[in-house]
């Protein structure tokens, strides 16, 4: 049997529960914001991974340039089209 005093208390707690559920699901600080933030974090982590891989390649390239003249010569030949003295350069055009 229900006590007469428990019915208003039950109603009040039910209204409070509904209000809190509304706050959790629909406001800016609620679960929708959490889902958007998780998606943003995933995108940024992917970008960071790509940039980290690119940085590793660049770091290896810098290390090669510091260690020897062969890599400097290779870059000069391929990127700048440089040739050695008394060397003949042939370009074949299709």
Q: 20-38: per-residue pLDDT in tens?
A: 887 777 777 777 788 889 9
Asked if the structure places residue 87 within a domain, the reply is: no
> Rounded to whole angstroms, what are the CA distances from 88 to 46, 75, 82, 94?
47, 18, 11, 20
Q: How many domains does the chain have?
A: 1
What residue numbers bound the domain in which 26 lies? 6-80
Asked if the structure places residue 85 within a domain, the reply is: no
- Quick check: pTM over 0.85? no
Q: Say which range, 13-17, 25-29, 40-44, 47-51, has the weakest mean pLDDT.
A: 25-29
Asked if the structure places residue 89 within a domain, the reply is: no
Asked if the structure places residue 69 within a domain, the reply is: yes
DSSP letter, residue 93: -
CA angle 64-67-73, nearest 5°?
65
Arithmetic mean of pLDDT, 66-77:
80
Asked if the structure places residue 88 within a domain, the reply is: no
Asked if the structure places residue 93 within a domain, the reply is: no
């Amino acid at each position: 049997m229900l006590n007469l005093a428990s019915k208003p208390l039950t109603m009040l707690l039910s209204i409070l529960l509904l209000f809190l559920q509304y706050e959790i699901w629909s406001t800016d600080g609620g679960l929708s914001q959490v889902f958007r933030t998780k998606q943003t974090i995933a995108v940024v982590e992917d970008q960071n991974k790509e940039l980290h891989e690119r940085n590793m390649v660049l770091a290896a390239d810098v290390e090669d340039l510091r260690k020897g003249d062969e890599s400097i010569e290779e870059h000069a030949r391929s990127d700048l089209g440089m040739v050695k003295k008394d060397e003949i350069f042939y370009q074949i055009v299709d």
